[in-house]
Amino acid sequence: MATVYLYTFASVVVVSLISFVGIFTLSLREELLRKYIYIFISVAVGALLGDALIHLIPEALEDSANTTLTSVLVIAGIFLFFALEKLLHWHHHGEDKEDNQIHPVGKLVLFSDGIHNFMDGIIIGASFLVSVPIGLATTLAVILHEIPQEIGDFAVLLHAGYTKARALWLNFLSALTAILGAVVLFAIGNVSEPASSWFLPMAAGGFIYIAVADLIPELHKTKEVKYSVLQMVAVIAGVLAMVGLTLLE
């Protein structure tokens, strides 16, 4: 059992460190990066929708004893994030001028990504309980899955108004919930499986809400045909990245 713990926690630490992929992938001057941020936002839209509709929802439905309930939980996730953004906007108006420069979508992304990483920690831990080879294969799939998502998250945080350093740090803190997920799995054991059947569809609903309600309207602010075409290509690239990951699972 000690070996399982060692492999699991080493794996979730590595997955958490993937949040720093932005340092190497987006090592551009901040002014230049913000100028072309719409491309990364477009990738984030595709990755979020692809993750929700290709990975999270099918997985939730596959393990579900009640598909109607699962579908309702997806809607509940959308509504939860709608209500959460309302609360953030209300709080946002009560803050000082400097804080008002941060758009609530940044906090929404951190919250939803935290839930997703928490579930990744549970999934990795559960796979190592089956066997070490299965655990390693699952960890590799999660890492490949996280790279495009973390790039998109980093871009969204920059777009929300965070500096590069703050975006990387907050993204890392959100990623650490993967470790918490592994701890919870080993602490409560088989209770985590029914809990995941609730969390997965709600997290999917959150991803859909962020992509459709927050990010796509931002993309509509770009009117030029050339940039609009690039946006569409980037969205498709984000979706295809999620499709490609299904071949590795």
The whole-number pLDDT of residue 97 equals: 47
Give 110-179 as a DSSP string. HHHHHHHHHHHHHHHHHHHHH-HHHHHHHHHHHHHHHHHHHHHHHHHHHHHT--HHHHHHHHHHHHTHHH
pLDDT of residue 249: 57
161: alpha, beta or left, given left = phi > 0 and alpha = psi -120 to 50? left
Calculate Rg over the CA atoms of the chain: 18
Burial class (CB in 10 A: 0-12, 13-18, 19+), 169: middle
What was the pLDDT predicted at 117? Answer: 83
pLDDT given at position 185: 79
| Per-residue pLDDT in tens (0 to 9) along the chain, 249 residues | 678 888 888 988 888 888 777 665 555 565 666 667 788 788 878 888 888 898 878 888 887 889 999 999 999 989 988 887 787 666 555 554 445 567 777 888 888 778 878 877 877 887 687 677 767 766 776 776 677 667 777 778 877 888 878 888 888 888 888 899 888 878 876 555 565 677 778 878 888 888 898 788 888 888 888 888 999 999 999 889 888 877 765
Closest CA to 122 of 196, 56, 207, 176: 196
Residue 155 CB burial class (10 angstroms; 0-12, 13-18, ≥19): buried
